[in-house]
A and B are shown apart, each in its own frame.
Chain A
Amino acid sequence: MKDERYQYEESPSYVSRREFITISGIVIAILALPAVWIRSAVVKRNNYIRARINGLYRDDTGSKVRVSHGNSGVAKLYKDFAGHPLSEVSEELFHTQSYINRTRI
Chain B
Amino acid sequence: MNAEARTYQKGEIPGIIAINADVCKGCDSCKRYCPTGAITGMFGAIHSIDVEKCINCGQCLINCPFGSIYETVDTVDTVIVKLQDKNVTVVGIPAPAVRVAIGEEFGMADGSLVTKEMYGAMKKAGFEILDNNFAADLTIMEEGTEFIVRARHALFGEEAHGHKVGPLPQFTSCCPAWVRYVETRYPALIPNLSSAKSPQQMAGPLAKTYGALEVWKKPPETIYTVGIMPCTAKKFEASRPEFTSAYHFLKKEGKAGSDTPYPDVDTVLTTRDIARLFKKMKIDFTKVGETDGGPLAEYTGAGTIFGNTGGVMEAAVRTAYKVLTGNELQPLEFKKVRGMKGVKSASVTLMDTKYGKEVTVNLAVVNGIHGNIEPVLESIMAGTSPYHFIEVMNCPGGCVNGGGQPIKSDGSSWLRVALPLFGWK
* Chain A residues packing against B (C-beta within 8 Å): 41-42, 44-63, 65-74, 77-78, 80-82, 85-86, 89-105
Could you tell me how many residues of chain B have their Cβ less than 8 Å away from some Cβ of chain A? 91
Nearest to A92 among chain B residues (CB) is B249
Which residues of the other chain, B, contact A92 by a CB distance below 8 angstroms? 245, 248-249
- Distance, CA A66 to CA B285, complexed state (A): 28
> Which residues of B178-220 have CB atoms within 8 Å of chain A's CB atoms?
179-180, 182-184, 187, 190, 193, 195-197, 201-202, 205-206, 209-210, 214
Docked-complex contact B424 and A66, CB < 8 angstroms: no
- Distance, CA A98 to CA B160, complexed state (A): 20
Cross-chain contact of B142 among A57, A73, A95 (Cβ < 8 A): A95
Docked-complex contact A77 and B410, CB < 8 angstroms: no
Docked-complex contact A86 and B163, CB < 8 angstroms: yes
Docked-complex contact B301 and A63, CB < 8 angstroms: yes
Which residues of the other chain, A, contact B180 by a CB distance below 8 angstroms? 102
* Chain B residues packing against A (C-beta within 8 Å): 6-9, 96-97, 99-101, 104, 109-113, 115, 134, 136-142, 144-146, 149, 160, 163-164, 179-180, 182-184, 187, 190, 193, 195-197, 201-202, 205-206, 209-210, 214, 240, 242-243, 245-246, 248-249, 295-296, 298-305, 307-309, 311, 315, 318-319, 322-323, 328, 332, 338, 340, 396-398, 400-401, 405, 408, 410, 412, 415, 419, 424
Docked-complex contact A101 and B190, CB < 8 angstroms: yes
- A61-B301 contact in complex given A50-B340, A90-B142, C-beta closer than 8 Å: yes
Most buried by A among B8, B111, B195, B338: B111
Interface residues of A: mostly helix, strand, loop or mixed? helix
Which residues of the other chain, A, contact B113 by a CB distance below 8 angstroms? 55-56, 58-59
Nearest to B406 among chain A residues (CB) is A48
Cross-chain contact of A101 among B96, B187, B408, B424 (Cβ < 8 A): B187
Nearest to B306 among chain A residues (CB) is A56
- A68-B304 contact in complex given A46-B397, A59-B115, A93-B205, C-beta closer than 8 Å: no
Which residues of the other chain, A, contact B110 by a CB distance below 8 angstroms? 47-48, 51-52
Which residues of the other chain, B, contact A97 by a CB distance below 8 angstroms? 164, 195
Cross-chain contact of B307 among A56, A80, A81, A104 (Cβ < 8 A): A56
